Amino acid sequence: MENYKNVTILEHPLIRHKIAILRDENTGMKEFRELIEEITMLMAFESFKDVPTKTVTVKTPLESVEQEVVAERSIAIIPILRAGLGMVNGVHKLFPNAKVGHIGLFRDEEKLSPVEYYCKLPDGIENMTAILLDPMLATGGSASAAIDCLKKRGVKRIKLMSIIAAPKGVEKVTGEHDDVSVYIAALDRELNEHGYILPGLGDAGDRLFGTK
């Protein structure tokens, strides 16, 4: 498998198992949604190894002890609409107090270029680590535009988490944003003429929300 700078492929038998079911065209909407959430949680567990922590004093029934806890308020979860929404709970389960911002982008079906239609980010985001969520990294146009949008708001620490990626998308994002850490669970072969990832899983938004 190729090595890309700043890209971690989160390979684990449990993740591979869940991705196999996710790809299956016979997997229905409910199971698809649950799998996206579970895979995201497994990915977040690995990709937040460097999460900021602080020391607090905890009183056990016997004595006081200094303990490390996650500084959750320093994390912002940013799904790219629509499909990124399916990943939010997977991260929220680990960081229940993390704030959530939304970036709305869709791909122009002919040019495949991203069109922004919504952006609402938490106050103070410039001092947080933003975890950008989108299950599919195809041409990379949407993720790269979302990163631009975060950088314009002064965000300095950005992680991108995508479940399935195509080489073209990884190359675009890492080429344009070499300061962003990218975490993926599967690096697929290529894109088809419509910009869909092969073998991929089809249209993630439609499978999550039952729109087709």
**Which residues, listed in sequence order, are joined to residue 197 by a DSSP beta bridge?**
191
By CB under 6 A, is residue 106 in contact with ligand URA? no
Helix extents (H) in 8-104: 13-23, 29-47, 85-92
**Closest distance of CB 203 from ligand URA, Å:** 4
Nearer to ligand PRP, 83 or 161 (CB): 83
Nearer to ligand URA, 51 or 112 (CB): 112
From its phi and psi, is residue 146 left (phi > 0), alpha (psi between -120 and 50) or beta?
A: alpha
**Closest distance of CB 203 from ligand PRP, Å:** 6
By CB under 6 A, is residue 107 in contact with ligand PRP? yes
Nearer to ligand URA, 79 or 200 (CB): 200
Residues 61-100 that bind ligand URA (CB under 6 A): 83
- Binding letters toward ligand URA, positions 120-139, x by CB under 6 A: ----------------x-x-
- The span from the CA of 148 to the CA of 103, in Å, is 11
Q: Is 30 helix (H, G, I), strand (E, B) or coil?
A: helix
DSSP 134-191: -SEESSSHHHHHHHHHHHHTT--EEEEEEEEE-HHHHHHHHHH-TTSEEEEEEE-SEE
Residue 197: contacted member of ligand PRP, ligand URA, none (CB under 5 to 8 Å, by partner type): ligand URA
Task: With CA atoms as reference, report the closest residue to 150 among 79, 58, 46.
Answer: 79
Q: Which residues bind ligand PRP (CB under 6 A)?
A: 80-83, 105-107, 112, 114, 134, 136-143, 169, 195, 204-205
Q: Which residues are near ligand URA by CB under 6 A?
A: 83, 136, 138, 195-197, 200, 203-205
